[in-house]
Amino acid sequence: MLKSLGERLQATFKKLRGKGKLTEQDVTEAMREVRMALLEADVNLKVVRDFIAAVKERAVGKEVLESLTPGQLVIKIVHEELINLLGGTASRINLSPNPPSVVMLVGLQGAGKTTQAGKLARLLRKSGRHPLLVACDVYRPAAVQQLEILGKQLDIPVFAVHASKNPVEIASAAKEAAMRQGRDLVIIDTAGRLHIDERLMQELKDIREAVRPHEILLVVDAMTGQDAVTVAETFNNALSIDGIIMTKLDGDTRGGAALSVKAVTGKPIKFIGVGEKLDALEAFHPDRMASRILGMGDVLSLIEKAEEAFDVKQAVELERKLRSQTFTLEDFLAQLQQMRNMGPLDQLLGMIPGLAHAGKLKDLQLDERELKRVEAVIFSMTVAERQRPELIDGSRRKRIARGSGTEVQDVNRLLKQFEQARKMMKNFADMGKRSGKKAKFPFS
């Protein structure tokens, strides 16, 4: 996510940190490099000019150039201006206190509206809402069926009228159905086109007039760069959208659309798609994104992911086992599997301050297949071996390697990792015991 831009900016600011004193020329040269990095990241030219001007005006002030840590102050200024560029504060979705709230998703064909409708319904259900998905894309082949399949996977009802080709009538009927069924949230998946045309816009306007949505969210593909910004501007002019869902941000190493769209349209990014799974939709936080770009990590998002992925009862049981020294290989595997539920490992490490710096992760190979290899090795052990790893001698290691399709070195490495993890987590438990407080395990 924004990897190339982040690496360029971090390399530029590393030079500033190394200087005891800064001159106006030093700042000018750094801003020139920042400007090039932003342009190469496909950020809108006017946005880049305004951003550089704002940073430079603050960075060449007397309090910065005469500071004992001028480089750090310049980075702080860039961080603050990046947050402003990305929208300032997180923008919440507008939901009505008088249900049902109606959310209308719009956008071009291929942007991922149908999938995002399912992801958004799942995300808002976690906050206590009872969503109803509405299939109003009556033109794209199998669009209705796709939404119905998503609804079944998520156990969320889908309103569809297979006999009707009138999306306005379907949307109106869905709102009435939601009121009858006690559904307090209606999410409408509308049709798109390969390009913007008058017929599409008129249809969307008609749906808007019929159901009076509380929120119109535009779904755009970050991979399309400045085209996404142009699309956002056009839809906003026609429909007055309330916010943006930016998909495939995990696949866009440049990030120009994310950095440009708020400044160009005045409308905030409210959600970002960070993967293909149905849980890969996050609320957008400008401050957290700015910190990730500059290699400062994102601890708050990491904690939120951990709280969602980890089971509290399992964490308490784990603490008991560690204190009684009964932590087994099965427990070790359960911990690894829960970490995997938090998302791709490289994304998680990028949220940790220090590890997020370009140089720290550059040579680190993050192969998630390693977790599957660990699973195979542990599943090839007997119950007794999983509970008492000290039983695993040379001959048993060979048998386990054959059974798991791995090498003896893989088994040895796993056992060593297990011992290291057991010692580390035992130390956490002992620290909590000595302080009289409940132990705080990593990610639990």
Which segment, 5-14, 289-298, 343-352, 367-376, is predicted with the most confidence on average?
5-14
Sign of CA dihedral 21, 22, 26, 27: positive
Look at residue 136 and tell me whether its pLDDT is greater than 80.
Answer: yes
382 neighbors 341 (Cβ within 8 angstroms): no
SS3 at position 243: strand
The arithmetic mean of pLDDT across residues 89-103, rounded, is 90
Residue 375: predicted pLDDT: 87
Question: Rounded to the nearest 5°, which phi and psi values hold at 142?
Answer: 70, 10
- pLDDT greater at residue 22 or residue 145: 145
Output the six-digit token pair for 136: 């109003």
309 neighbors 442 (Cβ within 8 angstroms): no
Of the listed ranges 180-189, 314-323, 434-443, the least confidently predicted one is: 434-443
Nearest to 35 by CA among 23, 49, 22, 14: 49
Residue type, 426: K
Q: How far apart are CA 128 and CA 120, in angstroms?
A: 13
DSSP-derived letter for residue 100 is P
Instruction: Find out if CATH 3.40.50.300 is the number for domain 101-295.
Output: yes
Of the listed ranges 123-132, 219-228, 293-302, 343-352, the least confidently predicted one is: 343-352
Residue 246: predicted pLDDT: 92
Return mean pLDDT, the chain.
82
Look at residue 125 and tell me whether its pLDDT is greater than 90.
Answer: yes
Count CB-CB contacts under 10 A for residue 144. Answer: 20
The arithmetic mean of pLDDT across residues 215-243, rounded, is 91
How does pLDDT run across 167-184, given as a tens digit for each residue?
999 999 999 999 999 999
Of the listed ranges 198-202, 214-218, 432-436, the least confidently predicted one is: 432-436
Residue 430: predicted pLDDT: 59
43 neighbors 256 (Cβ within 8 angstroms): yes
Nearest to 10 by CA among 362, 366, 345, 359: 359
According to DSSP, the residues that pair with 247 across neighbouring strands are: 221
Domains 3-86 and 101-295 share a fold: no
Domain boundaries, the chain: 3-86, 101-295, 302-435
| Helical pair 329-341 and 369-379, crossing angle rounded to 10 deg | 150
Radius of gyration of the chain (CA): 26
Residue 348: predicted pLDDT: 60
Look at residue 77 and tell me whether its pLDDT is greater than 60.
Answer: yes
Look at residue 226 and tell me whether its pLDDT is greater than 90.
Answer: no
Q: How far is CA 305 from CA 231, 301, 330, in A?
A: 31, 6, 23
Q: How far apart are CA 159 and CA 166, in angstroms?
A: 14
User: Please, which pLDDT band fits residue 67 given cuts at 50, 70 and 90?
Assistant: confident
> Residue 159: exposed, middle, or buried by beta-carbon count in 10 A (0-12, 13-18, 19+)?
buried
User: Please, which pLDDT band fits residue 330 given cuts at 50, 70 and 90?
Assistant: confident
Q: How far apart are CA 118 and CA 247, in angstroms?
A: 13
Superfamily of domain 3-86: SRP54, nucleotide-binding domain (1.20.120.140)
How does pLDDT run across 344-368, given as a tens digit for each residue?
655 665 555 554 444 444 444 445 6
User: Please, which pLDDT band fits residue 225 given cuts at 50, 70 and 90?
Assistant: confident
Candidate CATH numbers 1.10.260.30, 1.10.10.10, 3.40.50.150, 1.10.3720.10; the one for domain 302-435: 1.10.260.30
Look at residue 241 and tell me whether its pLDDT is greater than 80.
Answer: yes
Q: How far apart are CA 20 and CA 297, in angstroms?
A: 25
Which segment, 140-144, 173-177, 341-345, is predicted with the most confidence on average?
173-177
DSSP per residue, 315-327? HHHHHHHHHTT--
Q: Is 364 left (phi over 0), alpha (psi -120 to 50) or beta?
A: beta
SS3 at position 19: coil
Q: Residue 157: is the preceding peptide bond cis (ω within 30°)?
A: no
